[in-house]
């Protein structure tokens, strides 16, 4: 295993620039996921996508990221966190350049899959660098709050940046903008992060576990993304379900017999990590689904253009960033479990208020009370769940622990959005008619209910340690 222990102390004397690079890495991941949403109509018209296939500009990224996160997390532990950060940033830069030059739908979908793999390597590398460079407690909590503000804000700022770039330069700009940023990240990471130490030759990479886990999770995410639109009884859905179950079962068998498993069994006995994984899944299924329905509301119900839609997400972006900082302070003041319960309760109230304000003739200011409460709760919960996921985990397992929590984040998001779209009557980018607004409101009220149930579940848990959920 590689180690960064020898370089920790010198780095802590000047943590501002390295933390800025780590936050920028998370911002790139968030932006890259969200920036293409407002560009989809122009991408579809420019490259000749069919309505059926256009969703894969988003879905290819989601499927690849979700499938490779466990592999990316363990690679960070075994192959070196700095190396994986640099490799991932270069993947982003190269694939984004190809994406901006793409002339066919197939090339662009392939580019989005490669970007997703880059995200699955960059996310756990970034998170495990934070959790190994900063001591557990106030220092790590503060670093995670800054990192969380960049990521949560990027989900909203992506819409604004995408809208401006599409309006001024055309859809290729949403890819080209990544090239210099990701390239700079690679250089900065190599120069600023501590060098990966000598490889412990007694540790082996679990190839069989990596292949079965990656294949099984990728097929599962593919199923959850594709089946709601195409049907659960189609040949593709049935084949994906069967193969996913087989591969994940084989993965469990391989892990029991492996000398150095991809996911060490000791992590499944870590109650704090397991609880944090449950919170990340619920967070992604609820909080992270709100921008999808708000985008439909702004663009389809009220006819906002791309730039106006992006501007509408400015307030949520700022409020979420504030919430991440408030969450970090609340952990120190009230403890992890109370902070998460409070943040999720705030989010549930905000989502309910937002649902009531979604009307056909409603103004943007009428949405602000719900947006503010929801955003504050979202930011606090985002920071808290990553603090919880890293607490008490050994440095050598931080990468795979990050991969486990971020995998549930991706799978939870795919499941949640599929369920919410079904509850909303199948509303999507091409939806119209009087049922559209009712569907959006139904989905937002369901989000409020889901967040509220999560808060009640956390409240019902026995009081654990101060760092556990």
The predicted structure's pLDDT at residue 153: 66
Angle at 65 between CA 429 and CA 323, to 5 degrees: 75
- DSSP one-letter code for 355: H
In terms of Cα–Cα distance, which of 78, 464, 131, 449 is closest to 261? 78
How big is the chain by its Cα radius of gyration, in Å? 21
In the chain, DSSP finds a helix count (H) and a strand count (E) of: 20, 0
172: its two tokens: 């290729």
The predicted structure's pLDDT at residue 5: 41
Q: Chunked in runs of 10, what are the mean pLDDT values of the chain (469 residues)?
A: 41 64 85 76 82 74 81 81 92 92 91 89 87 81 82 70 82 90 92 77 69 84 76 85 91 81 75 85 89 84 79 85 86 85 94 93 91 93 84 76 81 81 68 74 94 90 49
Contacts of 337 (CB under 8 A, 6+ apart): 458, 461, 463, 464, 468, 469
The predicted structure's pLDDT at residue 156: 63
C-alpha 113/C-alpha 149 separation (Å) is: 26
The predicted structure's pLDDT at residue 43: 87
C-alpha 36/C-alpha 357 separation (Å) is: 27
Q: Are 293 and 443 in contact (CB under 8 A)?
A: yes
The predicted structure's pLDDT at residue 14: 45
Q: What is the pTM of this model?
A: 0.77
């Amino acid at each position: 295993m590689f180690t960064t222990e020898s370089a920790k102390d010198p780095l802590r004397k000047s943590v501002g620039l390295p933390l800025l690079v780590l936050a920028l890495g998370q911002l790139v991941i968030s932006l890259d996921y969200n920036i293409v949403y407002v560009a989809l109509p122009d991408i579809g018209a420019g490259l000749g996508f069919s309505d059926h296939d256009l969703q894969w500009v988003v879905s290819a990224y989601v499927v690849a990221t979700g499938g490779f996160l466990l592999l990316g997390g363990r690679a960070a532990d075994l192959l070196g966190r700095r190396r994986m950060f640099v490799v991932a940033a270069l993947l982003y830069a190269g694939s984004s350049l190809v994406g901006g030059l793409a002339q066919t739908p197939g090339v662009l979908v392939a580019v989005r899959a490669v970007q997703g793999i880059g995200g699955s390597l960059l996310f756990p590398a970034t998170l495990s660098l934070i959790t190994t460079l900063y001591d557990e407690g106030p220092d790590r909590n503060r670093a995670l709050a800054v990192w969380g503000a960049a990521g949560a804000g990027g989900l909203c700022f992506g819409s604004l940046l995408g809208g401006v770039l599409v309006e001024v330069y055309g859809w290729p700009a949403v890819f080209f903008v990544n090239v210099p940023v990701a390239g700079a990240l690679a250089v900065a990471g190599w120069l600023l992060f501590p060098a990966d130490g000598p490889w412990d030759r007694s540790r082996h990479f679990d190839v069989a576990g990596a292949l079965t886990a990656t294949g099984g999770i990728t097929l599962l995410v593919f199923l959850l993304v594709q089946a709601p639109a195409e049907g659960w009884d189609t040949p593709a859905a049935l084949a994906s379900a069967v193969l996913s179950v087989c591969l994940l079962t084989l993965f469990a068998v391989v892990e029991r017999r492996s000398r150095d498993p991809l996911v060490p069994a000791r992590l499944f006995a870590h109650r704090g990590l397991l609880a944090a994984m449950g919170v990340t899944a619920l967070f992604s299924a609820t909080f992270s689904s709100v921008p999808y329905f708000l985008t439909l509301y702004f663009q389809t119900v009220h006819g906002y253009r791309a730039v106006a839609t992006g501007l509408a997400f400015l307030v949520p972006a700022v409020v979420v960033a504030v919430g991440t900082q408030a969450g970090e302070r609340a952990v120190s003041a009230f403890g992890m479990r109370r902070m998460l319960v409070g943040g999720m309760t705030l989010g549930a109230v905000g989502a309910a208020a937002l649902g009531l304000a979604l009307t056909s003739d409603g103004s943007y200011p009428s949405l602000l009370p719900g947006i503010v409460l929801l955003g504050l709760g979202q930011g606090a919960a985002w920071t808290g769940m990553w603090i919880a996921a890293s607490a008490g985990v050994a440095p050598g397992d931080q990468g795979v622990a990050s991969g486990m929590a971020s995998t549930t984040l991706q799978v939870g998001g795919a499941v949640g959005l599929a369920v919410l779209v079904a509850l909303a009557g199948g509303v999507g980018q091409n939806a119209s008619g009087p049922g559209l607004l009712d569907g959006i409101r139904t989905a937002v009220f369901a989000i409020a209910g889901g967040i509220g149930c999560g808060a009640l579940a956390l409240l019902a848990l026995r009081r654990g340690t101060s760092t556990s959920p």
